[in-house]
Amino acid sequence: MNLKIEEAVKRLNDSELYSILFLKLYAEEPTKENLVIALAEFQRTLESDGSAPHDKWMNDEDSAALSISQQRGRELFLDKAKCFDCHFGPDFTGDEFRNIGTYDEKQYKDKGRFDETKDSNDLGKFKVPGLRNIALTAPYMHDGSLETLEEVIEYYSDPYMFVETPINMDSIMITPLRLTYHEKEDLVNFLHSLTDETRYKQR
């Protein structure tokens, strides 16, 4: 996201897909003005209005709001898969900067937080994003390199399959989780339970 707005508008115009999407939404090609509107709309998806199945289940409004698979996914999220160590708080981010292993100096060159602070402890650290409405905001990660939630979970299951020699990776990520097929499925299903129902209705 660390991009000049003129360059962002140019890249959108160069993309056939985005040109079509902007035309559909705003009846014109991408411009500075409609990009600002689109970004504001995206930002609104990051906040919740409390209508997600997970909220209803947590607030004892509806004990059937989460499927059994989603409940298992929630347990994994909180415990074995360690997601909650970084994605905590009402919007599932503690607003910290952490390194999940996506910097290796060779193929993956974005130094993340380091570029701001010049502190070598910050090499490869990125802001932990919130996970509200996460099923609606593909692609994922700072560079959009992961297309689906399934791919994100594959990444967390074994980051070394994606980046062989990560630099300064968080100590809790060093041992790969090596999740089973069903555990991966449960985690993906759980992430879907964070979508506000009002968002589904809008679609």
Contacts with ligand HEC, residue ranges (CB under 6 A):
81-83, 85-87, 98, 100, 102, 126, 128-129, 131, 134, 137, 140-142, 152, 156, 170, 172-173, 187
Alpha carbon distance 23, 149 (integer Å): 27
Contacts of 112 (CB under 8 A, 6+ apart): 97, 99, 103, 122, 123, 124, 125, 126, 142
| Least separation in angstroms between CB 160 and ligand HEC | 15
Q: Which residue, 28 or 116, is less far from ligand HEC as judged by CB?
A: 116
Contacts of 130 (CB under 8 A, 6+ apart): 46, 87, 91, 92, 93
| Least separation in angstroms between CB 136 and ligand HEC | 10
Q: Which residue, 65 or 86, is less far from ligand HEC as judged by CB?
A: 86
Q: Which residue, 62 or 165, is less far from ligand HEC as judged by CB?
A: 165
| Least separation in angstroms between CB 54 and ligand HEC | 13
8 Å CB contact between 193 and 136: no
Q: Which is it for the CA torsion 106, 18, 156, 169, positive or negative?
A: positive
| Least separation in angstroms between CB 74 and ligand HEC | 11
Nearest by Cα to 159 from 168, 148, 145, 169: 169
Using alpha carbons only, give the angle 21, 25, 31 rounded to the nearest 5 degrees: 75
Q: Which residue, 9 or 81, is less far from ligand HEC as judged by CB?
A: 81
| Least separation in angstroms between CB 117 and ligand HEC | 15
Alpha carbon distance 48, 190 (integer Å): 16
Q: Which residue, 23 or 138, is less far from ligand HEC as judged by CB?
A: 138
| Least separation in angstroms between CB 23 and ligand HEC | 26
Q: Which residue, 72 or 87, is less far from ligand HEC as judged by CB?
A: 87
